[in-house]
Chain A
Amino acid sequence: MQIRAEPLSEAEGIAIVIECENLDAGNAQRFKEQVQPYLDAQALVIIDMCAVRFVDSSGLGAMLACLRSMNNKQGQLKLVSLASPVRALFELVRMHRIFSIYDTREDALASL
């Protein structure tokens, strides 16, 4: 599991780029562990999923855990650059209503 953290220049917060193709049962737990320090430290976290081609229910669960973690401390979590099958999955399980999803990182920042 590889993620990359990029501080935002436009606002207080951080962008997390998921650098692998899949977020599934095989790595969801590791992703949660790696991203948790950023969720704890930042008020705004943008997760950039441009590289991700495959997400399964475990991957969704991990995302949902991130969202809950941010909501609990009144922080903001935004997802950007979802590939169409990934977006389809979010819509299938209605998670697109719960997450703030944007096409690009700029759109996400503009919504602040």
Chain B
Amino acid sequence: MSAIAPTPLCALTPTVATVLVVDRSPESDAYVQALAIDWHVVHAGLGADALRLGRESCPQLIVVDVTTPEDKGFDTARALHGDAQLAHVPIVFLADAENREAHIFGLGLGAADIITKPIDVHVLRLRIFNILEREHLRTTALVCKQELQTALAEKASALNLLESLFNASSNALIVTDSHFTVVKTNPLAAAYFDGSEQPAVGGSMSRLAFTDANGHCIPLEVLAESTEVVECVVRLPPGNTLSLELRARPVSGNNGEPLHLFILHDISTRIALEKERQSAIQDILQKAAELGVQKHAIDSHALVSITDANHVITYVNSKFCAVSGYSTDELIGRPHNMLKSSVHSPSFYRDLVETIRNGQSWQGEIANRAKDGRIFWLEMTIVPWVVDHGVPQQYVAISTDITDRRSAEEQLQLARTRELEIGAEIQGRLLFGAPPQKFAGLSIASFSEPSQGIDGDFYTFTKLNNSTIEVLTGDVMGKGIKAALIAAGVKSAYRRAFVEMVCGGGLRKTPTPSEIVNALNEATYSELCELGAFVTLTLARFDRRAGTVTWVNAGHTPMLVGRSASYTVEELPEGNLPIGVIPNERYEEHVTQIGVGDIVMLYSDGISDSTNSDGEAYGDWPVKEILRLALINEASPSITLNSLRSDLHNFTRATTGGDDRTALVIQSRHQRTERRGHVSDRRRPVYLDLPRRLDRLESLRHHIDGLCADQPEDFRQSLALAAFEAATNIVRHTPRNLKETPFTAVLRRTAETASVELVSEGEPFVPDGTPTPDFTGNTFGGFGLYIIENCVDKVEYKAPMPGMASIVLTKQFPTPGYHSRN
């Protein structure tokens, strides 16, 4: 109703209408007066006056006199009718009755009425009244028509909108008549009927079958009557189903007939999502329950701690608190290293942190310190929680308390070590009788390296009289305690056999080596058989006075003899089976001459069978070669043995395992008595085996004192000091495995000099010149070498034997010719 075209003010019917009278004839005044009773009359003349007053007054009716001469009335009427503002105002012409032309003109111009002169005022009034009434009706009709058109346009627009909404709705819309015949659908609903033979419209809506959640059918009548939203499932003609929310609304058709509007909202997606969500929730609840069980299991067994990226503790379980002794409050917010113990090296923690910062799990055994200071051991797995960019946000550590296990392991290890120590001690006492320190005319050295802490090798020395000594050395098949016990048994059987033969038979002389070995075999054969063992051995008897060695070899490594006269090495033939193989084996003895300087070597096959990392065996050639070099270099037995050891070590390197290694070196030497030495004895070197202990080096000084007893004290002191400094160096740099092995000092004299050679295993050491010591006393270093260099006249570094190094200190006598002084 708002879009009505504007109507001029004058066009509205005022309470009193305005009438413009264009007539200046004399008789006009009379009817103007009469008209003024009913209306507001504007009285104007012809021409411009009429147009001006007409525009000013906005009349509802114009009366024009066209009886005037020269058609001035027509011109005025034409002008008024042509004026835009006044064109629609009805005009009443006053014309002469007989003036037909005026009538035609007036009607042609659209006159509302033509009234003839003379004027009957009463008629004029009625006519004007009628015209105004008619005009009023016409105007009202126009307005109504206009309103009607507007309303129609609006209705059309609304219908259009409705239709669009109907078609574009995201819900399926179906309109049916009261018999549920489909009248109208939107495209979405029409698609529901795609599988139907009939098009959507015109067919029955019952082609769609509605059921409730339980699968019960819901009749269309019930759906149509329902005032609420019905959730249901519809089976479409093609057979597929949709979940719906359905609303029904009664509507009326164009002709007022009752219709049903069904609004079908597809909730399949929502239902599917809902189902998924429900299932996910179920899943989560299930998993949470499982996790709860697992957590309970872990909590009751393991220590759990969680730290943030900076290793600050954010969570600990009760087990963690129980083991560490801290409460939760004391741990949360503190750095995890508050539990750090001093057991591990800094690099251990560095590696750990680096591993987990790189996003990798760490696993290992770690010692932590509890609140009360005690150490507890954990087997720990740390898993970094990597969120993005590979940078861990937190670390979860799950640990098992292995303190008890560790402690048990340590105890066990301790027990094992102790067992080995005891074993080694028993072995040292039982299996290896120390060689006699002093036996006139023989120099003896021995070594044994067990393979497993306890040994099956053995040797023992028996002094028969002042010039005869015999050595029994052997190797029990096998290793470890069993072999050691058998070896001890064999040694004891050897002694018993010896004693029985001396006493039992009333023998007039000492039993021979072969008699002893035969008796030994008879005595031990059955026991060795029961134990499934056999023993290889050599019994060698040295007769210093006769200059012979008599030996029996029972399956043992052949004995070696180095001849000092020819610098050759002989391998003396083996002859018999090992002990314990057959009961009636006849063991035979052999004899060879041993001269001064000759060396006898007995060794177990553990030496020649030693292998290096390439699996090559050491063999017996290097043993013979070392023996030959010992002859050439006049090396003492201990130097020879240390050389063999050192060379063997250089060959095998880090290779462990293998058999026990035992070797004995016995050298025949010039006999000299302590009290009455021959002058030529002075020229022979004195070999001194020194223990590798700083507090046991005094004997070196005493021997040097003895060697140079004829020299002034400062001479003796200087040489002793130099030798002492050198010996101290050797002891300080002893490898761990040789701590128990002596090193050798060789003391020599010539007519002009006395010298001390200190021999130890290793590469020859040659210093880069003598460092100048710091004489200010601020530091104390480099004095040893300086003292050595300044106390003697010559310092030489040598490699006297394979694998051996030596330092030779030589000092010139101040007064040549000691003969006269002695």
Contacts and interface: CB of A to CB of B under 8 A. Distances in A.
Contacts of A54: 701, 717, 720-721, 724
Contact of B724 (A24, A27, A65, A97): A24
Contact of B714 (A24, A65, A84, A98): A84
Interface stretch (A6-14, A34-42, A86-94, A103-111): A86-94
B775 interface: yes
Given A25-B694, A25-B697, A64 B780 contact: yes
Determine the interface band of chain A, counting residues with CB < 8 A from chain B.
20 to 34
A26 B696 contact: yes
A43 interface: no
B720 A57 contact: no
B777 interface: yes
A92 B776 contact: no
Nearest to B697: A26
A95 interface: yes
B706 to A, nearest CB: 15
A98 B780 CA distance: 13
A66 B775 CA distance: 16
A20 to B, nearest CB: 10
Interface residues of B, number: 29
Contacts of A97: 775
B787 A92 contact: yes
A95 B698 CA distance: 24
A58 interface: yes
B776 A93 contact: no
Contact of B775 (A22, A65, A94): A94
A60 B724 CA distance: 14
B713 interface: yes
B708 to A, nearest CB: 13
A75 interface: no
Given A85-B717, A92-B787, A57 B725 contact: yes
B714 A58 contact: no
A22 B694 CA distance: 12
B133 to A, nearest CB: 142
Interface string A48-61: 00000110111011
A60 B721 contact: no
Contact of A27 (B695, B701, B775): B695
Nearest to A95: B777
A56 B728 contact: yes
B786 A84 contact: no
A26 B694 contact: yes
Contacts of A53: 717
A60 B717 contact: no
A26 B695 contact: yes
B818 interface: no
Nearest to A84: B714
B713 A85 contact: yes
Interface string B687-700: 00000011111100
A21 to B, nearest CB: 9
B697 A93 contact: no
A56 B724 contact: yes
B685 interface: no
Contacts of B784: 57
A56 B777 contact: no
A28 to B, nearest CB: 9
B790 interface: yes
B717 to A, nearest CB: 4
B783 interface: yes
A25 B754 CA distance: 24
A80 to B, nearest CB: 19
A85 B712 CA distance: 11
B773 interface: yes
Contacts of B713: 84-85
Nearest to A55: B721
Interface string B667-700: 0000000000000000000000000011111100
Contact of B787 (A27, A65, A93, A98): A93
A88 to B, nearest CB: 6
B694 to A, nearest CB: 4
Nearest to B695: A26
Contacts of A15: none
A67 interface: yes
B694 A56 contact: no
Contacts of B776: 98
Contacts of A92: 787, 790-791
Contacts of B701: 22, 54
Given A89-B721, A95-B777, A98-B777, A57 B697 contact: no
Given A84-B714, A85-B713, A92-B790, A26 B698 contact: yes
Contacts of B780: 60-61, 64-65
Contacts of A64: 777, 780
A57 B693 CA distance: 16
Contacts of A85: 713-714, 717-718, 721
Contacts of A26: 693-698
Contacts of A22: 698, 701
Given A25-B728, A57-B783, A88 B714 contact: yes
Contacts of A24: 694, 697, 724, 728
Contacts of B721: 54, 56, 85, 89
Nearest to B781: A61
Contacts of B694: 24-26
Nearest to A24: B724
Q: Give the one of A25, A57, A94 with max B CB within 10 A.
A: A57
Nearest to B784: A57
A67 B777 contact: yes
A24 B694 CA distance: 9
A71 B786 CA distance: 26
A54 to B, nearest CB: 6
B695 A56 contact: no
A58 B728 contact: yes
Contacts of B697: 24-26
Contact of B783 (A27, A65, A93): A93
Nearest to B786: A93
Nearest to B731: A25
A15 to B, nearest CB: 22
The 6 closest A-B pairs by CB, nearest first: A85-B717, A26-B695, A98-B777, A94-B775, A25-B728, A57-B783
Given A24-B697, A64-B780, A65-B780, 9 more contacts: A26-B694, A26-B696, A56-B728, A57-B787, A60-B780, A60-B783, A88-B714, A93-B786, A93-B787
9 contacts: A22-B698, A24-B694, A25-B728, A25-B732, A26-B698, A27-B695, A57-B783, A61-B783, A85-B721
Interface of A: 22, 24-27, 53-54, 56-58, 60-61, 64-65, 67-68, 84-85, 88-89, 92-95, 97-98
